């Protein structure tokens, strides 16, 4: 038993020592990895700083000629070349470079817009779209007298088209408003039925038969409703009511026979 116990103790001691040794090796390797990563990070940071310092030095030694050449390129109608020349130094946030970069981008966008509008105009759009294109051209090229002339020439017909469209929209809006007066189920007009019921001896006996309407296109609508209801003698009779209703659903007048 004693020998067996000694073997157990020795085995446990060996395992413990191995575990401790393994942890020590792992910690050493982890520290080495951290140190390597830190060194690499410092090297990258130094390389980036050296690159930026070199860029600053290059920019400062050529700043005047760079700005002048970029301005000339933009003035000569070549904003793409100016943008390419300035892009290298955009990260330095120099005020003049930033301004010229924005100007070159704006010029490029305007140039592309002009091309797109020219292509669209070549396809002969309708008068309203043509007028919109002329106005955009006048904004993009204010010194070109052609666009103002085209705007002035086409203004009367465009005003007429707009006027006609506005009138058509007004007619359509009225039709929609009048249509909403009538029930989609039986064609009755709610405000007229309420007016009729208010004058009946027995409102609960009211039954709608038919409703017809006359719409002059302007002003109020005349509504004729045929209905059945009990009279003072408790007899069910058919009667007719004529009402005048505004397009927004107001009962203007009601006549019952």
| Residue 207 resides in a domain | yes
| Residue 161 resides in a domain | yes
Residue with more model confidence, 167 or 24: 167
| Residue 112 resides in a domain | no
Mean pLDDT is lowest, of 11-15, 23-27, 68-72, for 11-15
Query: Average pLDDT in the 171-191 region?
Result: 95
Backbone phi, then psi, for 167, in 5-degree steps? Answer: -65, -40
| Residue 63 resides in a domain | no
| Residue 219 resides in a domain | yes
Sign of CA dihedral 158, 161, 167, 170: negative
Mean pLDDT is lowest, of 7-16, 163-172, 174-183, for 7-16
CA distance 67 to 204: 90
H helices of 127-144, in order, are 127-140
Residue 249 clears pLDDT 70, i.e. is over it: yes
- Among the three residues 179, 208, 223, which one is the final residue of a domain in this structure? 179
For residue 92 the two structure tokens come to 């330095």
Q: Does residue 163 share a domain with residue 195?
A: no
pLDDT the model gives residue 199: 95
Q: Does residue 173 share a domain with residue 143?
A: yes
What percent of the chain shows pLDDT beyond 70?
90
| Residue 33 resides in a domain | no
Taking the model in full, what pTM does it have? 0.56
| Residue 243 resides in a domain | yes
CA distance 138 to 110: 12
pLDDT the model gives residue 223: 97
* pLDDT 10s digits, 131-143: 999 999 999 999 9
Q: For residue 231, what are the domain limits?
A: 187-256
User: How many folded domains does the chain comprise?
Assistant: 2
pLDDT the model gives residue 81: 92
Q: Does residue 191 share a domain with residue 166?
A: no
93 alpha carbon, distance to own chain's centre: 32
């Amino acid at each position: 038993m004693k020998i067996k116990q000694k073997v157990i103790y020795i085995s446990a001691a060996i395992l413990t020592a191995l575990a401790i040794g393994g942890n020590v090796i792992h910690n050493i390797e982890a520290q080495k990895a951290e140190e390597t990563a830190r060194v690499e990070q410092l090297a990258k940071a130094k390389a980036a700083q050296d690159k930026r310092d070199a860029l600053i030095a290059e920019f400062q030694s050529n700043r005047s000629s760079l700005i002048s050449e970029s301005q000339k390129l933009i003035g000569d109608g070549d904003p793409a070349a100016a943008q390419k020349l300035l892009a290298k130094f955009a990260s330095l946030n120099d005020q003049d470079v930033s301004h010229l970069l924005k100007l070159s981008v704006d010029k490029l966008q305007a140039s592309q817009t002009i091309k797109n509008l020219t292509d669209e105009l070549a396809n002969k759009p309708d008068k309203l779209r043509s007028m919109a294109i002329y106005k955009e051209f006048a904004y993009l090229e204010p010194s070109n007298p052609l666009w103002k002339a085209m705007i002035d020439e086409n203004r009367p017909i465009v005003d007429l088209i707009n006027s006609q469209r506005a009138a058509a929209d007004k007619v359509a809006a009225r039709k929609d408003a009048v249509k909403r007066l009538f029930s989609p189920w039986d064609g009755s007009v709610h405000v007229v039925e309420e007016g009729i019921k208010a004058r009946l001896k027995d409102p609960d006996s009211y039954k709608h038969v038919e409703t017809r309407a006359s719409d002059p296109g302007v002003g109020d609508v005349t509504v004729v409703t045929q209905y059945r209801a009990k009279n003072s003698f408790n007899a069910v009779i058919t009667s007719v009511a004529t009402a005048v209703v505004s397009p927004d659903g107001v009962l203007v007048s009601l006549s019952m026979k």
